[in-house]
Chains A and B, each alone.
Chain A
C-alpha cells in the first residue's frame, strides 16, 4: 500500500481567490498520478491522470503539475468559485499496484 499524503486537510478561501494544495507520494516505481474531485452527495469525478515528470494538465481554471523525482503533485485553482467546493483526492499508482487514494483536501469557497 502506497503512503499518500495530502495537505492541507481542509481550507476555506474567498470567492475569487486562487489556491493550491499538495499531494506527496513515494517516488520509487512511480507509474501514474490521478486527481479526482468529489462533491458532497455525489461520486468522485476524474480531473487528470498524469504519467510524465514535469507534466502539466489544465481543465478550465484547474491545473496540476507533477514531479515524479521528488514525489509530489500540486493542484491549482485560479479564481475559486463556490462550485469548486469539494474534496480533491489524489491517487498515485506505482509498480504493479493499483491506484491508492489519499484522504483528500476539502475545499470550501466562501461567496
Chain B
C-alpha cells in the first residue's frame, strides 16, 4: 500500500525557516517524480514544487523560487521541503504528492497534509 506521511509543520515566525519531510513507502520511491502542493485555509490548491526522480531537476512556482528548496533522499525514501524567509502568505496545509498517475504528470497519491502557520 502506498503511503506518504508528512512531518515537520507547526507555528513559525515570519522570516524564519522550517523543513518539511515526507516519508514514502509501498512503492519504489526512486522511480517517481515527487511534488509539494499547498492549500491555504479555506482556499484552493496551489502547486509549489516538483523534483525529478534523481533530484537533478527541480521546478518551483515563482512566489517560492529562491526561498524554498525541494530535495529527496532516495536511499531513505524521503522527500523534503526546506522553507526559508517564510511569509504569512505561506501559511497553508502542505501535501506531499507522487507524480505518477496517468501519463506521469498526475498526482496519484497524496499524504494527509501538514499544517504550516507563519505568524508572530
User: Are both chains from one complex?
Assistant: no
